[in-house]
Structure 1
Amino acid sequence: MTEQSPLKKIKWGIIGLGRIANSFATDLLTINDAELYAVASRNQEKANDFAEKYGAKKAYDNYESLAKDPNIDAVYIATPHALHKENAIMCLENGIAVLGEKPFAMNANEVDAMIAKAKEKNVLLMEALWTYFLPHYQFVLKELKNKTYGEIIKIESDFGFQRPYNTETRLFNKSMGGGSLLDIGIYPIFASLSTLGLPKNIEASATFFENGTDSSCHMLFNYNNNVKAHLKSSLLEVLPTQAIFYCEKGIIKINTQFHCPTTVTLIIDGHEKTLDFDYNTIGYNFETIHFNNLLREGKTESDIMTFEFSKQLIKTLDHVRNLIGLKY
């Protein structure tokens, strides 16, 4: 019996070294067949500190140098939303596989350009919507697909927290794609699209900060057979941040912080059962392992987070923005 050869170790780079990049790097350390090879910031000291913290071999003070490093197999893009397209295309031009943080880009035109470049260069590209790959979410998707509790009648999903209003930070910076919709409203929308598909029509309203960034957004997705998805995002208040699927024979509730590793409660005839998925990481390792496997197999598109789904997601965000009058 011959021994299996060890898997090729994927050398990762990270562009943009904020909070999410720290979470990604933390979980990357838990994956044996991957390593953080290089990081890039526009500040050398920040890059050095990040590299030292997570054991990266290279620390660059600009994104271009990282994209031209021939030793890098894949790049995680964690820059502000408005930079996703240019950063992704720069890496794809250099033949580096790209895992791009959500939202994939600012609008559908930008996403189309990224996908076109990936196809032109025959290089792997995927939107990093980590929730899709979390075991609890995959469990819920399977239960709903199998109609274990019958058809979905209604969805309720929200995401809300409160931060001091500060236009110096990315979250409230309109030019960087700040506001509730693109930053956190994408998750309730994702919950609806990933389970019910595209709605028949959408109703939406919003409130705004003084700089024109949306502070909250209420959305109603209308489907056939009077099925509705009630969705909300807010930077003005703490919301339950759950995803609840009301079905004909029961309720599936993804509990608080539904987009993160969490628990799922099944409610049938008034009886509740809560499932714990025994998470021991932040949760970014699941999408990374999927991406690593795609890369080793020579795939250029995910079979879970497909180009078509990313297009549907960004087009839905564009439609909601149009309905509420939000322009970047």
Structure 2
Amino acid sequence: MTPLRWGIMGTGGIARSFAEDLRLTDSGVVAAVGSRTRATADAFADRLGIPGRHGSYEALAADPDVDVVYVATPHPMHHDNAMLALSAGKPVLVEKPFTMNADEARSLVKFARDRGLFLMEAMWTRFLPHIHHVRSLLPQLGDIVTVTADHGQWFPQDATSRLFAPSLGGGALLDLGIYPVSFASMILGTPSRVVSMTSPAFTGVDAQTSMLFGYETGAHAVLTCTLRAATPATASIVGTDARLDLAGAFYAPTTITLTPRGGTPTPHPHPDAGRGLRHQADEIARLLAAGETESPLMPLDETISIMATMDEVVAQAG
């Protein structure tokens, strides 16, 4: 296939990681970057050897040399930036969390579906080799009883940091909690009951959020996220016949271990080049070549469901 020409909206850390990982695959190249200022776009492009650079998101969306747009701006901008690219007729990959809430997610999905355009949430974990392996092993676990996952990182208390800024969608839940919530959704689907608790940071965003999800099957998901400490970032799927443990960081390339009930643990390492972001780009290249507009591994309806669950977590936590 001819490599897809990617246009990146945003110049933050995740945008840089995506651009660097794209070098590890032949499915696509970064053709252009767009920022709110030309100087920022130039600095990003010069650092990564990107030919096209634009001083506005509108210019990037209109660039005829861009085949697909990756929206990597702060969370509150996702909806409008993705809408901008879709309005220009571009397929779009939107960094997680997809939007700030479920209503914004529904709006984007409807717009894309009405126009037959590709749209996907950039939950890159879904496309990693070890997650494909996890899916294949699920039948060996029996009935799923419990899913656990945590994601905590320590960040200095900096009022100027995006992570602590209410206006930029800061807080543990949107930045870190999306990984455990999406993981539980992949295994158990949409919860029928949500209970949550949160502790605020000094700026008012959530510094730590803990969640308990209940399902019609009787299964539970126990999930936590925090900005205040580095947690193990592990995950487990516990079934009546066996257990799967994902070593930290569970959301990145890692080792999974299958332990049958009363049996011997069997580790399955999954080393990978780069951070693992390239796999979602490979999937999009395959889907676009096939004329598809949604990914079966990260369906838009599930993305909406996840955002609705996050909304309920916030409501339950007060």
Partner of 1:3: none
Corresponding residue for residue 169 of structure 1: 161
Q: For 1:59 and 1:173, how far apart are their aligned partners in 2?
A: 28
Q: Paired residues, what number?
A: 317
- Amino acid in structure 2 at the alignment position of 1:242: T
How far off its partner does 1:104 sit? 0.5
Whichever residue aligns with residue 293 of structure 1, its letter is R
Q: Determine if contact 1:206/1:218 at 8 Å carries over to the other structure.
A: yes
Question: How do 1:118-197 residues align onto structure 2 when only pairs under 5 Å count?
Answer: 118-144=112-138, 147-197=139-189
Q: How does 1:28-47 map to 2 (within 5 A)?
A: 28-47=22-41
Deviation at residue 271 of structure 1 after TM alignment: 2.3
1:89 paired with 2:83, answer yes
Query: CA separation in 2, counterparts of 1:28 and 1:284?
Result: 8
Q: Which runs of 5+ in 2 are unaligned?
A: none
Identity %: 36
What letter is aligned with 1:300? T
Deviation at 1:225, TM superposition (A): 4.8
Deviates more, 1:203-212 or 1:265-274: 265-274
* Residue 308 (structure 1) aligned to one of 276, 286, 301: 301
Q: Distance in 1 between matches of 2:220 and 2:115?
A: 40
Paired amino acid for 1:13: G
Shift of 1:228: 1.2
Unaligned runs of 5+ in 1: 1-6
Shift of 1:239: 1.0
The superposition leaves residues 152-196 of structure 1 with CA deviations (integer Å, 9 ceiling, x where unpaired) of 111111110111111211111111111011111111111111101
Rounded to whole Å, the distance in 2 between the matches of 1:39 and 1:289 is: 19
The reply on whether 1:321 has 2:314 as its aligned counterpart is yes
Map of 1:4 onto structure 2: none
SS in 1 for 2:140: coil
* Secondary structure of the structure 2 residue equivalent to 1:271: coil
State the distance in 2 between where 1:210 and 1:24 align.
31
- Secondary structure of the 2:39 match is helix
Give the drift of 1:281.
Answer: 2.3
- Counterparts of 1:94 and 1:277 in 2: how far apart (Å)? 39
Task: Tell me the CA shift for residue 210 of structure 1.
Answer: 3.0
Counterparts of 1:1-328 in structure 2, within 5 Å, are 7-144=1-138, 147-268=139-260, 269=262, 271-325=264-318
How far the C-alpha of 1:270 sits from its partner, in A, is 5.4
Taking a change above 3 Å as real, the CA distance of residues 187 and 33 of structure 1, as seen in their structure-2 partners, is closer
What's the offset of the Cα at 1:121? 2.4
Deviations 1:229-254 (A, max 9, x none): 11111111211111111111221001
Return the alpha-carbon distance in structure 2 between the equivalents of residues 119 and 288 of structure 1. 20
* RMSD across aligned positions (CA): 1.3
Q: Quick one: distance in 1 between partners of 2:114 and 2:141? A: 44
Partners of 1:225 and 1:78 in 2: CA distance? 36
Q: Is the 8 A contact 1:24 1:284 kept in 2?
A: yes
Tell me the distance in 1 between the aligned counterparts of 2:295 and 2:121: 9
Question: Distance between the aligned counterparts of 2:70 and 2:86, measured in 1?
Answer: 12
| Length-normalised TM-score, structure 2 | 0.96
User: Per-residue CA shift, 1:50-74, capped at 9, x if unaligned?
Assistant: 2123222111121111111112110
Contact map agreement 1:8 1:296 (CA 8 A) in 2: no
Residues 5, 66 of structure 2: 8 Å contact kept: yes
C-alpha contact (below 8 Å) 1:93/1:121 kept by paired residues: no
Shift of 1:47: 1.5
